[in-house]
Structure 1
Amino acid sequence: MDTKKEVLSLLDEVLSLGGAAARFDLDTPLLGALPDLDSMAVVGLINMLEEHFGFIVGDDEIDGSTFASVGSLVEFVNAKLA
Structure 2
Amino acid sequence: MNAARAQQDLDPALRGLLADVLGLPADRVAALTRDLELFGALPEFDSMAVANLLTGIEDRFHLTIEDDEVEAEDFLTYGSLLAFVERVRGR
After TM superposition, the score normalised by the length of structure 1 is 0.92
Runs of 4+ in 1 over 2 A off after TM superposition: none
User: Is the Cα contact below 8 Å between 1:9 and 1:22 reproduced in 2?
Assistant: no
Residue from 32, 45, 56 that aligns with 2:40: 32
What is the aligned partner in structure 1 of residue 50 from structure 2? 42
Q: CA RMSD in A?
A: 1.0
Identity among equivalent positions (%) equals 37
Asked if residue 11 in structure 1 is aligned to residue 18 in structure 2, the reply is yes
Gaps of 5+ in 2: 1-5
Question: Aligned partner of 1:63: which letter?
Answer: E
Paired residues, number? 82
Residue from 63, 70, 77 that aligns with 1:62: 70
Question: Aligned partner of 1:39: which letter?
Answer: S
The 3-state SS of whatever aligns with 2:25 is coil
Higher relative contact order (CA 8 A, sep 6+): 1
Query: In 2, distance between residues paired with 1:9 and 1:22?
Result: 9
Deviation at 1:63, TM superposition (A): 2.0
